[in-house]
Amino acid sequence: MGAEPFQRIRVSVDARVATLTLNRPEKRNALDARTIAELASAIASSDADPAVRVMLLRGEGKDFCAGADLEQLERIAAGASRAENVADAMALGGLFIAMRNASKPIIAAVHGHALAGGAGLATAADLIVAAETAVFGYPEIHLGFVPAMVTALLRRSIGEKATFERIVLGDRFSAADAARMGLVCRVLPVATFEAGALAFAREVAGRSADAVALCKQLLYGIEGLSFEDAIRRGAEVNARARESEDCLAGVRAFLAKRGAT
């Protein structure tokens, strides 16, 4: 992937997994404009890298990401214009869209705290694995604020009523609670969390890259379609999958094995 022009994040690639690490532990990996821009750039580069099949997003230090940087909050307090506020919000919104549109899966590995925009960043990933002591929360309501863009992601992940409860109460919740509501797919022991998260990413990377990309495209592409149109879209993806080298090789190997028994 070449030399890294990054100051806020680190990127490394090993065994088909690109690990993207938020690297502001002294700021609890808070999101500022530069961090957001660097992360968007790293995701685009990783998505285009043929050596990468999965992206693993993590935070350095004791927390995954504690939310917005203090400078952003100071801009809000100063009373920016509507246009300035929209542009500022869409910097993070654009990152969420880029994560959704990336062809390769993004797994958030959450430890410590994932709060406000940090919880939003994790929610924007395709999958979340969490340390058993991880804490999530969308606490913007306590500032008279709204986790507005995150709502579009959270509603799709856990449903309307559960989303409304989380964003209106703004309380913190555990990794176990996040798993029960379907937000987190794996809760891992703290002592082996980093190794466990990487092992899970490598497991996903071991699946057919073509099939995984089609799964992601289909899952998000049927949003808003009628049942009939979703079935038709599925048939189109089914046909594309049948034509892929991975599928042809897999089916032929299966048939050969069955024929040998």
Q: Which long-range contacts (CB under 8 A, 24 or more apart) does 256-261 make?
A: none
**Rounded distance between C-alpha atoms, residue 113 and residue 116, angstroms:** 10
Phi (first) and psi of residue 254, to 5 degrees: -65, -45
Which residue in this structure is represented by tokens 């004791």? 62
Residues 247/210, Cβ–Cβ less than 8 Å: yes
Q: Which two tokens stand for residue 182?
A: 């379907």
* Helix, strand, coil share (%) of the chain residues, nearest 5: 55, 15, 25
Nearest CA to 136 among 156, 152, 158?
158
SS3 173: strand
Q: Among the options 26, 60, 74, 140, which is catalytic? A: 140
Q: Which of 108, 113, 72 is nearest to 92 (CA)?
A: 72
Active site residue 228: no
The Cα–Cα gap between 54 and 217 comes to 15
Which residues have a catalytic role annotated? 140
